[in-house]
Amino acid sequence: MTEFVHQRHKPPTSLERARDLVLVCAPLRSNVNLSRIVRTASCCGVARLVTCGPSKIDAKIARVSPEEFPIEKHRSLAPVLKSLRSEGYQLVGLEQTTNSCNLHEFSFVRKTAIVVGNERLGLTEDALALLDYVVEIPVYGLPFSYNVATATTMALYEYCRQFPSG
């Protein structure tokens, strides 16, 4: 039997450059969900995180400080999406719609803004109308959708899988 040597805590690998990835959160109900999203976004090397509406991040859950991972705060979603489009970002919503694509079959472009909706209401019709694409994650049981923090993690991971070097 071959012996394997494991190093429990690998040193972090840094990206050569920040990812051309922006994460945009509609107003969320749960500060816990937002804090978990912040931690995942930081781990994935997200260039910018934008939150809309009132939000408070629990530093103990997020495990990053505002100095390490700055977060932009805005009142409403539509102006943010319009601004990102003018900056050349492809706007990809994470939502279950009649015309959404399966996340696992979707090809991201490098300069992408992933837009996630409210835990209960999802993305509004107005927000959906501003998006270039909508992707959804297949669900194999009940309830019919993943928690917003979990779904965001899956979407970010898929983007990072497609662009591993940033």
Residue 4 lies in a domain: no
pTM of the model: 0.90
The three-state secondary structure class of 135 is strand
Name 81's Cβ contacts closer than 8 Å, sequence gap at least 6: 24, 91, 113, 115, 127, 130, 131
Domains: count for the chain = 1
Contact 50, 71 (CB under 8 A): yes
Q: Residue 32: give the domain boundaries.
A: 28-162
Domain harbouring 44, CATH code: 3.40.1280.10
- Beta partners for 71? 49
Residue 37 lies in a domain: yes
Instruction: Write the Ramachandran bin of 17: left for phi over 0, alpha for psi from -120 to 50, otherwise beta.
Output: beta
Q: What is the pLDDT of residue 13?
A: 61
Q: What is the pLDDT of residue 17?
A: 59
Residue 16 lies in a domain: no
Contact 27, 121 (CB under 8 A): no
Main-chain phi, psi angles of 7, to 5 degrees: -105, 115
The CA distance from 26 to 47, in Å, is 18
The CA distance from 58 to 33, in Å, is 10
Q: What is the pLDDT of residue 12?
A: 60
Residue 75 lies in a domain: yes
Residue by residue, pLDDT tens for the chain (166 residues) are 678 777 666 656 665 557 899 999 999 999 999 999 999 999 999 989 999 988 778 777 788 877 778 889 999 999 999 999 999 999 999 999 999 999 999 999 999 999 999 999 999 999 999 999 999 999 999 898 999 999 999 999 999 999 998 7
Residue 125 lies in a domain: yes
Beta strands in the chain (DSSP E): 21-25, 48-52, 71-74, 90-94, 101-102, 112-116, 133-136
